[in-house]
């Protein structure tokens, strides 16, 4: 078990305790998680505020006020919900937070992203114990429902006056592990498009060659979408310069329709998860979808279940004061940074969309990428190193000199 309980670092104990709270969809125990985190905030003499943005969906804000609270604040964002598990594929109970002899801590949310929440808190604990204060106010924002799109979490919160009152200047949010020595930093995200294509057709008996049937149309639709997918996959594989965030991914995620084996259905639908990088002309891409549908046959239409259109990027230019503070601090710690477009989606996209710079960053190098995967784990040494990193990053960001327009 990697050492006796009394020998374990107190931050690791808290991390494992947090992992044991079952904030797993479809019924996350948010109340228990908020109670746990609020208690930690009170211990650190942080001001605690809870905002119910949707029924049973509460945002927790833990605030460490700066010496000059008129300055724009630093937002440390994290989400408490985790994705479902298939326990039969796990070597350990995904909610037991077991630590093996190598110090690997297994648990759903160990990488995504309960580690970061505790790292924020423990970095602030350390800084406060040293008597440190910084000009800019620091807000820890803990939100629900990120894993299911954020519509009843961050999306609702940024529309409220409580968000405006945070006076945000710069945000940090989650990133991804990096199997190598470098640390991955994300300055933008691909847009998420969830599309359903409806293919109507002539119904009839399953023993006949029914003309103009739905299956023929849905086959053409699937071929068009997946042929494009193959082209993008080849483009990624053939280029040493491209990462997953630089290409468009398309995946067929639902096929629906039919009532019986011997009945040709009057409609079939195909649904796709599409992730589009900021470099793509979104209007032109939708025109391509429209063309694929028209080519599939009469009456074929598409509808969006999610359609993000923001292509904002956070500056990683050396002249940018936020990036300069972040990157120079990492350089001082001999960290190699690998800057990319995030291939999936986080709450950062909503922050950037309303004009605030945000960086996605989880300090996990030498770690396989296991978010949403079976046997998700994080090694305790990597976890503790992440606290050290935030202990340097938070002061650097909270000490950025007043910018133009600030007091």
| Domains along the sequence of the chain with CATH | 5-175+346-398 (3.40.630.10), 191-307 (3.30.70.360)
Q: What digits encode the pLDDT tens for the residues 237-275?
A: 999 999 999 999 999 999 999 999 999 999 999 999 999
Q: Which is catalytic among the residues 146, 174, 189, 380?
A: 146
Q: Which is catalytic among the residues 38, 81, 174, 380?
A: 81
Q: What digits encode the pLDDT tens for the residues 370-394?
A: 999 999 999 999 999 999 999 999 9
Return left, alpha or beta for 365; rule: phi > 0 is left, psi -120 to 50 is alpha, else beta.
beta
Q: How many helices (DSSP H) and strands (DSSP E) are in the chain?
A: 10, 16
Q: Give dist(CA 45, CA 42) in Å, integer.
A: 5
pLDDT > 50? residue 31 = yes
Beta-bridged to residue 274, according to DSSP, are: 193, 250
Strands across the sheet with 73-79, in order?
47-54, 57-64, 138-143, 73-79, 168-173, 358-361, 183-189, 337-342
Residue 391 preceded by cis peptide, ω within 30 = no
Q: 146 an active-site residue? A: yes
Query: Hey, is 241 helix, strand or coil?
Result: coil
What is the residue whose two structure tokens read 């938070």?
394
Label residue 247 exposed, middle or buried (CB < 10 Å: 0-12, 13-18, 19+).
buried
**Which among 130, 196, 161, 176 is positioned nearest to 344, based on CA atoms?**
176
Q: 81 an active-site residue? A: yes
Residues 6+ apart with CB under 8 A from 6: none
**Which among 155, 192, 229 is positioned nearest to 309, based on CA atoms?**
192
**Treating both helix axes as pointing N-terminal to C-terminal, what angle do 380-398 and 321-332 enclose, rounded to 10 degrees?**
140
7 vs 322, which has greater pLDDT?
322
pLDDT (mean) for 225-237: 98
Q: What digits encode the pLDDT tens for the residues 189-221?
A: 999 999 999 999 999 999 999 999 999 999 999
pLDDT > 80? residue 3 = no
pLDDT > 50? residue 2 = no
pLDDT (mean) for 129-147: 98
pLDDT > 90? residue 233 = yes
| End-to-end CA gap in the chain | 52
Q: What share of the chain is helix, strand, coil (3-state, %, to 5)?
A: 35, 25, 40
Give the pLDDT band of residue 6 (cuts 50, 70, 90): low
pLDDT (mean) for 134-143: 98
Long-range contacts of range 2-10, CB-CB < 8 Å, 24 or more positions apart?
A: 2/99, 2/100, 2/101, 2/102, 2/103, 2/380, 9/380, 9/384
Beta-bridged to residue 64, according to DSSP, are: 138
406 vs 245, which has greater pLDDT?
245
Counting every residue written for the chain, the total comes to 407
- What pairing do the DSSP bridges indicate for beta strands 263-264 and 204-205? antiparallel
pLDDT > 70? residue 139 = yes
Q: Which two tokens stand for residue 126?
A: 């350390």
Q: What digits encode the pLDDT tens for the residues 94-103?
A: 999 999 999 9
């Amino acid at each position: 078990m990697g050492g006796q309980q009394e020998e374990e670092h107190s931050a690791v104990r808290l991390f494992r305790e947090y992992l044991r709270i079952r904030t797993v969809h479809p019924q996350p125990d948010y109340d228990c998680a908020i109670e746990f985190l609020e208690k930690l905030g009170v211990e650190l003499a942080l001001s605690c505020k809870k905002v119910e943005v949707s029924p049973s969906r509460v945002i927790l804000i833990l605030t460490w006020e700066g010496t000059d609270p008129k300055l724009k604040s630093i937002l440390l964002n994290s989400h408490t919900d985790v994705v479902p598990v298939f326990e039969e594929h796990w070597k350990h109970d995904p909610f037991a937070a077991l630590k093996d002899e190598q110090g690997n801590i297994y648990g759903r949310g160990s990488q995504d992203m309960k580690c970061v929440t505790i790292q924020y808190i423990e970095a602030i604990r350390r800084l406060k114990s040293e008597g440190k204060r910084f000009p800019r106010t620091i807000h820890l924002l803990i939100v629900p429902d990120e894993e299911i799109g954020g519509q009843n979490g961050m999306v609702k919160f940024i529309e409220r006056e409580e968000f405006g009152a945070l006076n945000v200047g710069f945000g940090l949010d989650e990133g991804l592990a990096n199997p190598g020595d470098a640390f991955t930093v994300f300055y933008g995200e691909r847009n998420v498009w969830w599309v359903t294509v409806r293919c109507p057709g002539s119904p009839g008996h399953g023993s006949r060659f029914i003309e103009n049937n739905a299956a023929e149309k849905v086959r053409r639709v699937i071929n068009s979408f997946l042929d494009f997918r193959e082209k993008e996959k080849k483009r990624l594989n053939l280029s040493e310069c491209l990462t997953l965030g630089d290409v468009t991914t398309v995946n067929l995620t639902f096929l629906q329709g039919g009532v019986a084996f011997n009945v040709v259905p009057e409609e079939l639908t195909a649904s796709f998860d599409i992730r589009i990088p900021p470099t793509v002309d979104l209007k032109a891409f939708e025109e391509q979808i429209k063309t694929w549908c028209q080519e599939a046959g009469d009456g074929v239409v598409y509808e969006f279940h999610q359609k993000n259109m923001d292509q904002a990027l956070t500056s990683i230019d050396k002249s940018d004061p936020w990036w300069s503070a972040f990157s120079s601090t990492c350089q001082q710690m001999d960290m190699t940074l690998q800057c990319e477009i995030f291939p999936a989606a986080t709450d950062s996209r909503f922050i950037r969309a309303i004009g605030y710079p945000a960086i996605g960053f989880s300090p996990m190098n030498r770690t396989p990428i296991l978010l949403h995967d079976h046997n998700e784990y994080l090694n305790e040494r990597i976890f503790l190193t992440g606290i050290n990193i935030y202990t340097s990053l938070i002061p650097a960001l909270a000490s950025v000199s007043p910018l133009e327009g600030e007091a």
